[in-house]
Structure 1
Amino acid sequence: MNALLVDDSRLARTELRHLLQAFPDVTIVGEARHAAEARAQLTQLQPDLLFLDIHMPGETGFELLESLETAPQVIFTTAYDEYALRAFEVNALDYLLKPISEARLTVALEKARAQFLTPAAAAVPAASEPEPAPQPLSANDQVFVKDGERCWFVRLSDIKLFEINGSYTQIYFEQHRPLIPRTLQHLEARLDPKVFFRANRQQIINLKWINSIEPWFSNTLKIKLREGPEVEVSRKQSVLFRELLSL
Structure 2
Amino acid sequence: MKAIIVDDERLARNELKRLLENFPHIEVIAEASNTDEASSLLETLQPDVLFLDIQMPGKTGFEWLESWDGFLPEVIFTTAFDEYALKAFEVNALDYVLKPIELARLSESIQKLEKRQIQQVRTSTSPNHVLGAQDQIFVKDGERCWFVRLDRVRLCESMGNYVRLFFDDQKPLVLKSLNALEERLDPKVFFRANRKHIINLNYIDKIEPWFSGGLQVTLSGKGEKIEISRRQSIRFKELLSL
Deviations 1:25-73 (A, max 9, x none): 1000100000101111111111110000000000000112122224110
Give the TM-score of the pair, scaled to structure 1. Answer: 0.50
* Structure 1 residue runs without a partner (length 5+): 123-128, 137-184, 191-247
Q: What's the secondary structure of 2:55's corresponding residue?
A: coil
- Counterpart of 2:113? 112
Provide the rounded CA distance (Å) in 2 between the counterparts of 1:104 and 1:112. Answer: 13
| CA positional deviation for 1:189 | 5.9
Provide the rounded CA distance (Å) in 1 between the counterparts of 2:17 and 2:29. Answer: 11
Matched, 1:86 2:87: yes
Deviations 1:64-113 (A, max 9, x none): 21222241100000000010000011111110000000001000011111
Matched, 1:55 2:78: no
- Which residues in structure 2 correspond to 1:1-247 (within 5 Å)? 1-69=1-69, 70-119=71-120, 130-132=156-158, 134-135=160-161
Identity of aligned residues (%): 51
Total equivalences in the alignment: 135
Q: What's the secondary structure of 1:85's corresponding residue?
A: helix
| CA positional deviation for 1:119 | 2.5
Q: What's the secondary structure of 2:51's corresponding residue?
A: strand
Give the TM-score of the pair, scaled to structure 2. Answer: 0.51
Provide the rounded CA distance (Å) in 2 between the counterparts of 1:109 and 1:134. Answer: 18
Which has more radius of gyration?
Answer: 1
Provide the rounded CA distance (Å) in 2 between the counterparts of 1:108 and 1:30. Answer: 19
State whether residues 90 and 159 of structure 2, in contact with CA within 8 Å, keep that contact through their aligned partners in structure 1. Answer: no
Q: What's the secondary structure of 2:47's corresponding residue?
A: coil
Alpha-carbon spacing, 1:115–1:25, altered in 2? closer, same or farther (3 Å): same
State whether residues 4 and 30 of structure 2, in contact with CA within 8 Å, keep that contact through their aligned partners in structure 1. Answer: yes
Cα RMSD for the two superposed structures: 2.5
Q: Which amino acid aligns with 1:88?
A: F
